[in-house]
Chains A and B, each alone.
Chain A
Amino acid sequence: MSLKPEATTDPFVWRIPPQGRMQVPAIIYADRRLLGQMDSKVFEQLANVAGLPGIQGAAYAMPDAHWGYGFPIGGVAAFAAEEGGVISAGGVGFDISCGVRTLHTGLNREQLAARKTELADRLARDIPAGVGSTGPLRLNQRSMDQMLSGGAAWAVEQGYGSTADLERIEEQGRVEGAVPQEVSAKAKQRQQDQMGTLGSGNHYLEIQEVEQIFDAAAAAGFGLQQGDILVSIHCGSRGLGHQIGTEFLAAMVAAAPRHGLQLPDRELACAPIDSALGRSYLGAMRAAINCALANRQILTQLCREAFAKVLRQAELRLLYDVSHNTCKFEQHLVNDRPKKLFVHRKGATRAYGPGHPELPPGLRDIGQPVLIGGSMGTSSYILVGTTAGATQAFSSSCHGAGRAMSRRQASKRWRGKELIATLQEQGILIRSPSLRGVAEEAPGAYKEVNQVIEAADRAGLSRKVARLKPLICIKG
Chain B
Amino acid sequence: MPWEHFYHTADVGIRGIGSSLAEAFAEAAVALIAVITDPACVEAKTAIELTLTAEDPELLLYEWLNALIFEMAVRKLLLGSFQLTIEGNRLTARVAGEPVDPARHHPRVEVKGATLTALQVRRRKNGTWLAQCVVDV
Residues of A within 8 A of B (CB): 39, 66-70, 73, 90, 93-95, 130-132, 134, 186, 189-190, 192, 199-201, 239, 242-243, 245-246, 249-250, 253-254, 265-267, 269, 402-408, 433-437, 440, 476
Cβ B116 vs Cβ A132 within 8 A: no
Cβ B10 vs Cβ A68 within 8 A: yes
- A132 CA to B76 CA in the complex, in Å? 5
- A430 CA to B106 CA in the complex, in Å? 16
Q: Return chain A residues, CB-CB under 8 Å to B55.
A: 254
Cβ B110 vs Cβ A253 within 8 A: no
Q: Return chain B residues, CB-CB under 8 Å to A200.
A: 107-110
* Least CB distance, A62 to chain B, in whole angstroms: 14
Q: Tell me if B5 is interfacial: C-beta within 8 Å of chain A.
A: yes
Q: Return chain B residues, CB-CB under 8 Å to A67.
A: 8-10
Given contacts A190-B74, A434-B106, contact A408 B12 (CB under 8 A): yes
Q: Tell me if B36 is interfacial: C-beta within 8 Å of chain A.
A: yes
* Least CB distance, B105 to chain A, in whole angstroms: 8
Q: Return chain A residues, CB-CB under 8 Å to B62.
A: 250
Given contacts A69-B136, A131-B36, contact A267 B117 (CB under 8 A): yes
Cβ B9 vs Cβ A130 within 8 A: no
Q: Which A residue sits closest to B8, measured CB to CB?
A: A406
Q: Return chain A residues, CB-CB under 8 Å to B99.
A: 132
Cβ A94 vs Cβ B113 within 8 A: yes
Given contacts A73-B10, A190-B70, contact A407 B137 (CB under 8 A): yes
Given contacts A190-B73, A406-B9, contact A436 B119 (CB under 8 A): no
Q: Return chain B residues, CB-CB under 8 Å to A266.
A: 116, 119
Cβ B66 vs Cβ A246 within 8 A: yes
Given contacts A69-B136, A189-B74, A201-B137, contact A267 B107 (CB under 8 A): no
Contacting B116 at CB < 8 Å: which of A239, A253, A407, A435?
A253
Chain B interface residue number, banded: 35 or more
- A90 CA to B112 CA in the complex, in Å? 13
* Least CB distance, B65 to chain A, in whole angstroms: 10
Given contacts A267-B117, A436-B106, contact A404 B9 (CB under 8 A): yes
- A406 CA to B9 CA in the complex, in Å? 4
- Proximity bits, B63-79, A CB within 8 Å = 1, else 0: 10010011001101000
Contacting B102 at CB < 8 Å: which of A69, A130, A254?
A130
Given contacts A253-B59, A266-B116, contact A66 B107 (CB under 8 A): no
Q: Which B residue sits closest to A243, measured CB to CB?
A: B70
Cβ B9 vs Cβ A403 within 8 A: yes
Which residues of B (94-109) have their CB < 8 Å from a CB of A? Answer: 99-100, 102, 106-109
Cβ A437 vs Cβ B108 within 8 A: yes
Q: Return chain B residues, CB-CB under 8 Å to A408.
A: 5, 7, 12
Q: Return chain A residues, CB-CB under 8 Å to B117.
A: 69, 267
Q: Which A residue sits closest to B58, measured CB to CB?
A: A266
Q: Tell me if B114 is interfacial: C-beta within 8 Å of chain A.
A: yes
Cβ B108 vs Cβ A66 within 8 A: no
Closest 5 CB pairs of A and B: A132-B100, A131-B107, A437-B108, A242-B112, A436-B108
Q: Return chain B residues, CB-CB under 8 Å to A70.
A: 116
Which residues of B (36-60) have their CB < 8 Å from a CB of A? Answer: 36, 55, 59
Q: Return chain B residues, CB-CB under 8 Å to A435.
A: 106
Question: Could you name 27 residue pairs across A and B whose Cβ atoms are closer than 8 Å?
Answer: A66-B10, A67-B8, A67-B9, A67-B10, A68-B10, A69-B116, A70-B116, A95-B136, A131-B108, A134-B76, A186-B70, A189-B74, A190-B73, A192-B74, A199-B110, A200-B108, A200-B109, A239-B74, A249-B113, A250-B59, A254-B55, A266-B116, A267-B116, A406-B7, A408-B5, A434-B106, A434-B108
* Least CB distance, B104 to chain A, in whole angstroms: 12
Given contacts A69-B134, A403-B9, contact A131 B112 (CB under 8 A): no
* Least CB distance, A468 to chain B, in whole angstroms: 23
Given contacts A39-B9, A406-B9, contact A130 B137 (CB under 8 A): no
- A245 CA to B116 CA in the complex, in Å? 12
Q: Which B residue sits closest to A200, measured CB to CB?
A: B110
